[in-house]
Amino acid sequence: MNRKSVAVIGSGIGGIAAAIRLRIGGHEVSVFESNAYPGGKLSQVQQGSYRFDAGPSLFTLPHLVDELFELAGENPRDHFNYIKLPTNCHYFYPDGTFIRAFSEKEKLIQEITEKTHESAKNIETAINNSKFLYEKLSELFIFSSIDRLKTFLSKSAFKAYGSIHKLGFFGTMNSANSKRFKDKRLTQLFNRYATYNGSSPFKTPATMNIIPHLEMNIGAFMPKGGMHEITRSLYQLANRLGIQFHFNSPVTEILITRKQIVGIKVKDQKMHFDRVVSNMDIVNTYKKLLPSLKAPDFLLNQPKSSSALIFYWGIKKTFPQLDAHNILFSDDYKTEFDHIFNQGSIYNDPTVYINITSKYESNDAPEGSENWFVMINVPNNKGQNWEKLKNEARASIIRKVSSMLKSDIEELIEVEEVLDPILIEKKTSSAQGALYGNSSNNLFAAFLRHSNKSKRVKGLYFCGGSVHPGGGIPLSLSSAKLVDDLFH
């Protein structure tokens, strides 16, 4: 094997995973991170006696993390552990309906039929359809490279082509769900999965009904110690493998000579490397690190995904009706998404997501208290008055949650920290604070993500949530594997 010296720019989960895979492959790997800590969005916040996971809060497809330990010849259970949640989510509707989304399919269907006017057959059909989409499309669009012709000539590709009329490319997620379900509450529940990649159910293709399969058929999981344990355990694995990490070391340029990688510049110091993997947001990779290279503007200028407004609240009370994952739906989903994607503002009755890891990790909050990660989907940053929007949204959230729980939440907030799109962009270099790079709000979105290997610069690769196959932990981990495959 031809051993290479590799620089990985950014230590988000995709960057760490790529570094691990390339190191196992025999390469010399160094990771350069502008922050003082690893993990990118997958980090943590400590406020007094409360610990919060800073970013992603849902853990699916845990075998993708386990696989990295196994590749290194280690037993993942010696270093990283998780449980399957008995309940994926608690759903609260404005009309008072409360649905527990049990992880057991039969219990879930029974719960929904008891609480709504939906038939068990329709619910089961929807869940089975999501599995069908995953089986037809995941190998092609999640676990294969779009850089290779053989991907589109593979057996899995031809299976997908044969079912193209059933794959939802030609209608929206909302149109498919509203046709399937008689009860609007079920349409809203299944529509919400569009937010898992920062899109609108009223614009994204019905193909995105693939997402519920991950929870409803496979399950939602909780790492022991919280989501940050994914970062911590993989960072420690990387250290054991001999990967060099350089923190507080922002890369200022990727160095190219005659269309070939020669290294990077860290601050003002030039460093030689044979290959470079950028885990930095693809827009900022071109804008900040490749100033002399013509950017693929058509791809980079695609509409960006939504962002998030997150309040980390230490709540000095416990609420037994809440679970680890909770959704308080808005009264008008269409208007809410119109505000996010068309008006660039925040609806006055937003859907509120509350993640409480202290339900399973008692050390994350003092006794008798809970650590609330409170998030709403918001537009990406286009220069809005975020101070005004934050204050208005905070008041709307407190009013909504207090009404739903019949308790004055404002007076229970003991500690508070806020993360908005401007801070997300600053901390993670995500263009416009978009959480998932490009949105998936059009038919061709799956083909409009940047590939994992540069076609114009030899030795330049890309991983993470802003490139193929997309955002979120499973897809970022998949992007790392695709980079490793393309090295060979």
* Neighbour-count burial of 413, counting CB atoms closer than 10 A to its CB (0-12 exposed, 13-18 middle, 19+ buried): middle
Average pLDDT, the chain: 93
168/160 Cα distance (integer angstroms) = 12
* Other Cβ atoms closer than 10 A to 178: 17
pLDDT, residue 301, reads 85
452/483 Cα distance (integer angstroms) = 6
pLDDT, residue 169, reads 60
Q: Which residues pair with 242 in a beta bridge?
A: none
Q: pLDDT-based confidence at 150, cuts 50/70/90?
A: low
Q: Cα–Cα distances in Å, from 236 out to 69, 241, 243?
A: 11, 9, 10
Least confident segment among 7-16, 138-147, 463-472: 138-147
**Closest CA relative to residue 323, chosen from 364, 372, 366:** 372
Check pLDDT > 70 for residue 381.
yes
Beta strands 275-278 and 460-462 are parallel
Check pLDDT > 70 for residue 281.
yes
Provide the token pair at 67.
């696989």
Q: pLDDT-based confidence at 388, cuts 50/70/90?
A: very high
Interval 164-173: pLDDT, tens: 555 556 799 9
Q: What SS3 state is found at 264?
A: strand
425/419 Cα distance (integer angstroms) = 10
Q: pLDDT-based confidence at 226, cuts 50/70/90?
A: very high
* Domain 5-47+56-83+224-299+449-487 belongs in CATH node 3.10.520.10: no
279/12 Cα distance (integer angstroms) = 7
DSSP labels, 2-33: ---EEEEE--BHHHHHHHHHHHHTT-EEEEE-
Domain extent listing, the chain: 5-47+56-83+224-299+449-487, 108-215
Check pLDDT > 60 for residue 153.
no
Interval 81-140: pLDDT, tens: 999 999 999 999 999 999 999 999 999 999 999 999 999 999 999 999 999 999 888 876
378/424 Cα distance (integer angstroms) = 12
198/380 Cα distance (integer angstroms) = 10
Per-residue b/e over 38-62, b at no fewer than 16 CB within 10 Å?
Answer: bbbbbbbbeeeebbbbbbbbbbbbb
Interval 451-486: pLDDT, tens: 999 999 999 999 999 999 988 999 999 999 999 999
CA atoms within 13 A on the CB side of 28: 7
Q: pLDDT-based confidence at 444, cuts 50/70/90?
A: low
Q: Cα–Cα distances in Å, from 411 out to 134, 352, 357, 446?
A: 45, 19, 21, 45
Q: Which residues pair with 84 in a beta bridge?
A: 221
pLDDT, residue 1, reads 55
pLDDT, residue 144, reads 75
pLDDT, residue 459, reads 97
Q: What angle do CA 311, 470, 81 make, to 5 degrees?
A: 65
Q: Is residue 473 within 8 Å of residue 230, measured between CB atoms?
A: yes
Q: pLDDT-based confidence at 300, cuts 50/70/90?
A: confident
Angle between helices 228-240 and 63-71 (to 10 degrees): 10
Average pLDDT estimate for 321-345? 98
Q: Which residue has the higher pLDDT, 145 or 477?
A: 477
Least confident segment among 131-140, 393-402, 431-440, 470-479: 131-140
Check pLDDT > 80 for residue 347.
yes
Model pTM? 0.94
Provide the token pair at 127.
């869940």
For tokens 């997620």, name the residue. Answer: 173
DSSP H or E segment with residue 300:
helix 297-300
451/440 Cα distance (integer angstroms) = 16
DSSP labels, 134-179: HHHHHHHHTSS-TT-HHHHTSHHHHHHHHTGGGTTTTSBHHHHHHH
Q: Is residue 419 within 8 Å of residue 314, measured between CB atoms?
A: no
Which amino acid makes up residue 202?
A: F
433/293 Cα distance (integer angstroms) = 24
Provide the token pair at 186.
């079920």
pLDDT, residue 447, reads 63
Provide the token pair at 15.
């960057």
483/488 Cα distance (integer angstroms) = 9
Q: Is residue 439 within 8 Å of residue 429, measured between CB atoms?
A: no
> What are the start-end ranges of the E strands in 4-124?
5-9, 28-32, 44-47, 50-53, 82-84, 87-92, 98-102
